[in-house]
Amino acid sequence: MRALVIAAHPDDEVLGAGATMAALAERGHHVCALILAEGVSLRHKDVDLARARETCRTAAAELGVAELRFGGFALEGGMLGDGPQRSVVDAVTGAIREVEPELVFTHHPGDIHVDHRVVARSTTYATRVLGGGPVRQVLHYEVLSSTEQQTPAAIPYLPTVFYDVSGHVERKCRALSAYSYEVFDAPHPRSAHAVRALAAYRGAQVGVAGAEAFALARELRGGDGACASW
């Protein structure tokens, strides 16, 4: 099985699906991460594009990610929403065409961060069912510091799919630590403490020690009831 994790920024892929990526890779599945906007200079003046990409590679290696792609949106001080959404759609569509994933993870459309919402909408458009195509399931992930910050008026995050990642939460924390400029001490939501706490809470919802939770956006099943080869 081939899985594609689509993220707006470096560290979103780890926060949203890091432990699941590690679990899938360990089981022999091909995992690819697409980071659309690598630029981080809006908040971190001392982090250039080269460092951001190298940090992504370090995190990906910790999780066993087989393929790491960059969308090329450096965004030196800008937002994905500042430009035409068509360019983001084209980047996502191109990655899907080349990677041929059956399983796609992406942002939740109700996130407080506008870039996350742009990526969620672009992925929805790129994975629309128009006859054919490899994608069988699309899942929205939650990103600490963004998804839980939404207001009651936003699209609620209602996870329905849970991955048992009991043995992979610490790998997620190690991968996140590569992004030293994005990680903070507790009680900040982007902290190892918060990552462990969320995994324990999501696990408690389904009776396991640790879980990552996803909202099902779309799923295509065959006549035998199977979603795909995984």
Domain assignment present for residue 37? The answer is yes
Q: Considering its fold, how many domains does the chain have in total? A: 1
Peptide bond before residue 84 is cis, with ω within 30 degrees of 0: no
What CATH number does the domain containing 130 carry? Answer: 3.40.50.10320
Tokens describing residue 13:
């892929």
Domain assignment present for residue 72? The answer is yes
Going by pLDDT thresholds of 50, 70 and 90, the confidence category of residue 194 is very high
- Concatenating the DSSP letter of every residue in 71-89 gives -----SS--GGGS-HHHHH
| Sign of the CA dihedral with 144 first, then 192, 201, and 25 last | positive
Tokens describing residue 215:
């909202």
pLDDT at 42 over 60: no
pLDDT (tens digit per residue) in 112-141: 999 999 999 999 999 987 667 899 999 999
Domain assignment present for residue 229? The answer is no
Domain assignment present for residue 192? The answer is no
Which is nearest to 7 in space by CA: 65, 51, 76?
65
Tokens 């994933």, residue? 101
- What mean pLDDT comes out for the span 44-53? 72
Domain assignment present for residue 174? The answer is no
Going by pLDDT thresholds of 50, 70 and 90, the confidence category of residue 73 is confident
Domain assignment present for residue 179? The answer is no
Look over the chain and give the mean of its residue pLDDT values, rounded to a whole number.
Answer: 91
pTM comes to: 0.93
Going by pLDDT thresholds of 50, 70 and 90, the confidence category of residue 77 is low
Domain assignment present for residue 200? The answer is no
- Concatenating the DSSP letter of every residue in 204-230 gives HHHTSS-EEEEEEEEE---TTS--S--
Domain assignment present for residue 205? The answer is no
Range of the domain at 156: 2-162+212-219
